[in-house]
Homo-oligomer: A and B are copies of this chain.
């Protein structure tokens, strides 16, 4: 029964995807230590045992979720932007606009950010060292910053510091979105001002 086999495989993939998706938000809101498997399973709508069919352990599940977090989708978009033949100021304005729009709409984005923050709090070395600084995301941002500094639109300072500052603010508002009920979102100009001399 090859047909049934494939169908089975499909179902497996679906269940697995559902677990990953639902767990990401739950872990993001509750943290690793603060998440009980029993609660998580209830939240997803499956039995506790089912989780262990798809993932070896709670830690394994978290690791996989965390891996998703560093997906390359964002990087790709940024790579395109950085190669456009426009001024750094324009690039930063565009980038800031799209980030703020995404923050406003996409809760999973906030979750991903939150998970990255959780990692700081956790002892366990889920990720192979914090490679954030060597990440493509940072390197691309630094590139734009350098361009801007040459063009005179970006403030002085080492590019790595400024890139870190910029993405730090993004993190900050992702966390606010996820955890605080009342807050006022900053504008894309506010974000851009982290880098731009005179926004």
A189 to B198, CA, bound (A): 13
Type the 1/0 row for A162-199, where 1 means its CB is closer than 8 Å to any CB of B. 10110011011101100110111111011001100111
With contacts A33-B33, A34-B33, A183-B164 known, is A193 near B155, CB below 8 A? yes
Q: Are A30 and B190 in contact (CB under 8 A)?
A: no
Question: How many copies of the shown chain assemble into the complex?
Answer: 4
- Chain B residue at minimal CB-CB distance from A130: B180
The answer to the question of A56 belonging to the interface, with a C-beta cut-off of 8 Å to chain B, is: no
Which stretch of A58-66, A73-81, A118-126 is in the interface?
A118-126
A121 to B122, CA, bound (A): 13
Residues of A within 8 A of B (CB): 2, 30-31, 33-34, 47, 117-118, 120-123, 130, 133, 155, 157-158, 160-162, 164-165, 168-169, 171-173, 175-176, 179-180, 182-187, 189-190, 193-194, 197-199
- 16 A-B pairs besides A164-B183, A168-B172 with CB distance below 8 A are A2-B47, A31-B31, A31-B33, A33-B34, A117-B175, A118-B121, A121-B121, A121-B179, A155-B189, A155-B193, A157-B186, A157-B190, A158-B184, A161-B184, A164-B184, A172-B172
